[in-house]
Structure 1
């Protein structure tokens, strides 16, 4: 009988989310909580974090004439939605790749694959606001000393 039950486990794990009630949750703008502050040069706030096991969302705010540290999102893919301001997404594609600069304006989207080194730059006189959706329950990654450099801080 235990063999029969174990063969049902994959099916049950697929069906349970469909039959168990789940709750819609709303995070108001005044409820955002900081999860990473790079000495005021870039601030990341938790928006929807730890609510499910497959994705999370945070808000990245970069003051005028500032930038995020060079970092990667470890094993998580990320989708960026530029909410306000104009910024530059700088990415290093692959181990020997050259830096590519992508200007993002309000309403634009970008996809950043897992482990891709990147940086967000705001060279304007207005605050930059992006919503970052990552493929895990909470944002993870690492801040690097430089492009291709050592990890100096883990993001968990």
Structure 2
């Protein structure tokens, strides 16, 4: 009996969202939850989190002539969409841990796999703004001391 019920769970979890009413939610720009840099400027703002178990979204701003901390998104994959400004996504890739530089401009997308160390660089004169969608209910990850370095802070 128990095994028959457990085999129905995947089917039930697929059907329930189609039958039960759901609620659409929005987050106005002036209500984003900011994380501030050392100068009190917002660098990451949580836009949608805790609404479902499969994804969340944030806005990352890299100010002119600055870089984001080197970090990874733990077990979460991330899709990045560049909203404004131009900059560079620096990613540690491959078995030798080579740093690759991906130039990005408005309208570009990037995919960053889980556990991949990366950093945003802005050498320009305007904010470099991304929307990041991660594969979990809330953004997670860790800020590192350097490429391949120790975790300084856990992002949760």
Give yes or no for TM over 0.5. Answer: yes
Q: Is there any run of 5+ residues in structure 2 with no aligned partner, and where?
A: none
User: What is the CA-CA distance between 1:16 and the residue it aligns to?
Assistant: 1.0
User: What is the CA-CA distance between 1:139 and the residue it aligns to?
Assistant: 0.5
Q: How many residues align?
A: 155
Checking the alignment, whether the CA contact within 8 Å between 1:42 and 1:66 is kept in structure 2 is no
Deviations 1:32-88 (A, max 9, x none): 111x33424761001111111100110001111111000000010001000000010
Checking the alignment, whether the CA contact within 8 Å between 1:95 and 1:148 is kept in structure 2 is no
Q: How far apart in 1 are the matches of 2:17 and 2:78?
A: 24
User: What is the CA-CA distance between 1:3 and the residue it aligns to?
Assistant: 4.7
Say whether residues 1:109 and 2:109 are aligned partners.
yes
Which secondary structure does the structure 1 equivalent of 2:129 belong to? strand
Q: Is there any run of 5+ residues in structure 1 with no aligned partner, and where?
A: none
Q: How far apart in 2 are the matches of 1:77 and 1:58?
A: 13
**TM-score, length-scaled by structure 1:** 0.92
Which secondary structure does the structure 1 equivalent of 2:82 belong to? strand
Q: How far apart in 2 are the matches of 1:70 and 1:3?
A: 46
**Alignment RMSD:** 1.6
* Cα pair distance change 1:72/1:25, threshold 3 Å: same
Q: How does 1:4-153 map to 2 (within 5 A)?
A: 4-34=4-34, 36-40=35-39, 43-153=43-153
